[in-house]
Amino acid sequence: MNLSTALPGLIVLTSLVPGLVIFFLREGSHRARTLLNLGGATVKVVLVGVMIWGVFHEQVYETSWTLAPGLELVLHADALSVLFVTLSTILWFVTTIYAIGYLEHSPHRSRFFGFFSLCVSATVGLALAGNLFTFVVFYEFLTLATYPLVAHRGTPDAVRGARIYLAYTLGGGVVLLVGAVWLQLLAGPVAFVEGGVLYRLPETMHGDLKWIFLLLIIGLGVKAALVPLHGWLPQAMVAPAPVSALLHAVAVVKAGAFGIVRVVYDLYGVEFAAELDLLDPLAAAAAITIVYGSVRALSQDNLKKRLAYSTVSQVSYIALGTAIFGPLATIGGMVHLVHQGVMKITLFFAAGNYAETLGVHRISEMNGIGRRMPGTTVAFTIGALGMIGIPPIAGFVSKWYLGVGAAEAGDAAWVLPVLAASSLLNAMYFLPILYRAWFAKANAPWPDEHIPAGRWETTGALLWPPVITAVLALAAGLFAGAPYSPLQWAELIAAREYIR
């Protein structure tokens, strides 16, 4: 087995093996657990770097196992999978550092970090899935690996939130499985291919393909939090901050959005999906979700719930870009896959810092917090302004391409007022937070019992992750045209997807 056949499997194993080993470590094995976590994350970063270079130069990386006739587990690297794997790998590394600091004195750390690594393994596996069967396997694996993380605290609220999460995602998984089995019976094993494969089927099957598309989108729409399938997401905010960051930026929500992209571009093909009139309903569902999530965010005083409804809105930009027929909109949707992840994880890191250091969970408690925790709040400010779409932060690039792409498409011009309304609503629910944080007078003196000796703000393990991701969000906007940037990679994906 050479590198081209081994690399995809090795990338999955770099988090799977440490995760399995961690389960058997005693709670007091802090050094061994940290070494396994950071060692696996570091090796994964190196291997993904090799894959980025290879895929950019059209090197083929594929690992496959035949489980039964017609059922083949395939891990395959293409431009789209590499984009998502890179996001997952880099943010897993940063989140691991954050989680080590956040859970330093918490019980059940071996259990947490074991499932944490399994969650990342599932995410990377579905990102590298070379066919629909492999995607479904890792998609369900992700559900099972994430449930214990949501329920980690063991409180009644945590257990209730985890059960709601499990009910929604297992239900969505069943619908996805029905669509996948139907498609397998209709067309045989189907691989993900740039430009799609289903357009080759005879016209007599087009009616079935429309129903299958609906089932697949519903199944994926649960994790992608499309309205009205989003109800689990605000409830899952009872999870610890590292889990919330993972759910919103890397794993569950992003997995659903990534799956929608795969179905449209690499199963059906965007041109064939347009011919079957499948894109307009998807665009409408995404637009409704964008506005609905923003409106609901306005009324949330709990900071993590406001961020959760913001995710409901922001992730649907990816589905919207996918559903607008045209390369510029595709670029906007693809690059937002990365940009939203980097900005949103910054916001959740900061929210976790406020809660862990000062016991602040509500926006009404944040008066003057910027002067008490300036580093964290600067990072939060960059993430929030990026979500609004203020240049030169990464979110502006995404929205610019989506808007220009909608105008270019002609019949999608209705998307422009949706984007404008969304940005206005983003400003309405983020700017008051920033005003409170920087300009309002603190309600009372801030407690300092959780501040380590010699430090003004918080521990380095909690402070540096949001600072790093905030810098990445800023750099992704400032250097959008640089080689190997998320924008350049999105342009590469669009160029390949529109060739059939």
Q: pLDDT tens for residues 171-194?
A: 999 999 999 999 999 988 899 988
> Could you give the CA distance from residue 107 to residue 298 in angstroms, rounded to a whole number?
35
pLDDT 10s digits, 347-376: 999 999 998 888 899 999 999 999 889 999
Q: Give residue 34's pLDDT band: very low, low, confident or very high (50, 70, 90).
A: confident
Beta bridge partners of 75: 63, 129
Q: What are phi and psi of 129, to 5 degrees?
A: -55, 130
Cα angle vertex 124, ends 214, 1, to 5°? 120
> Could you give the CA distance from residue 100 to residue 114 in angstroms, rounded to a whole number?
13
pLDDT the model gives residue 290: 95
pLDDT the model gives residue 249: 74
pLDDT 10s digits, 208-226: 999 999 999 999 999 998 9
Mean per-residue pLDDT of the chain? 89
Structure token pair of residue 262: 């795969």
CA separation, residue 347 to residues 48, 305, 483, 497 (Å): 25, 12, 27, 32
Indicate if the pLDDT at residue 157 is higher than 60. Answer: yes
Per-residue pLDDT, averaged over 232-250, amounts to 79
Nearest to 1 by CA among 63, 77, 85, 75: 63
Indicate if the pLDDT at residue 257 is higher than 90. Answer: yes
Q: Report helix, strand and coil shares of the chain as percent, to nearest 5.
A: 75, 5, 20
pLDDT the model gives residue 287: 94
pLDDT the model gives residue 449: 53
Query: If you ran DSSP here, which 8-state letter would residue 441 be given?
Result: P
> Could you give the CA distance from residue 210 to residue 162 in angstroms, rounded to a whole number?
33
pLDDT the model gives residue 291: 95
> Could you give the CA distance from residue 138 to residue 220 in angstroms, rounded to a whole number?
13
pLDDT the model gives residue 25: 81
Q: What are phi and psi of 63, to 5 degrees?
A: -125, 135
Helix, strand, or coil here: 431? helix
Please, is 64 exposed, middle or buried when counting C-beta atoms within 10 Å of its C-beta (0-12, 13-18, 19+)? middle
pLDDT the model gives residue 131: 93
Per-residue pLDDT, averaged over 398-426, amounts to 90
> Could you give the CA distance from residue 351 to residue 304 in angstroms, rounded to a whole number?
7
342 membership: H or E segment, kind and range: helix 327-353
> Could you give the CA distance from residue 16 to residue 40 in angstroms, rounded to a whole number?
9
| Cα R_g (the chain), whole angstroms | 21
Per-residue pLDDT, averaged over 115-135, amounts to 92
CB 337 within 8 A of CB 397: no
Per-residue pLDDT, averaged over 257-270, amounts to 93
Q: What are phi and psi of 491, to 5 degrees?
A: -65, -40
77 membership: H or E segment, kind and range: strand 71-77
Indicate if the pLDDT at residue 27 is higher than 80. Answer: no
> Could you give the CA distance from residue 320 to residue 368 in angstroms, rounded to a whole number?
37
Q: Give residue 57's pLDDT band: very low, low, confident or very high (50, 70, 90).
A: confident
Per-residue pLDDT, averaged over 155-162, amounts to 86
pLDDT 10s digits, 318-342: 999 999 988 888 899 999 999 999 9
Indicate if the pLDDT at residue 455 is higher than 80. Answer: no
Summary count for the chain: helices (H), strands (E):
20, 2
Indicate if the pLDDT at residue 499 is higher than 70. Answer: no
pTM passes above 0.85: yes
- The residue type found at 110 is S
pLDDT the model gives residue 296: 94
pLDDT the model gives residue 161: 85
C-alpha 424: how far from chain center: 23
pLDDT 10s digits, 89-113: 999 899 889 988 887 777 777 888 8
Report whether the peptide linkage leading into residue 228 is cis, meaning its omega lies within 30 degrees of zero.
Answer: yes
pLDDT the model gives residue 218: 95
Cα-Cα-Cα-Cα dihedral sign, residues 274, 278, 282, 283 = positive
pLDDT the model gives residue 392: 93
- Give percent above pLDDT 70 in the chain: 97
Indicate if the pLDDT at residue 275 is higher than 60. Answer: yes
Indicate if the pLDDT at residue 450 is higher than 60. Answer: no
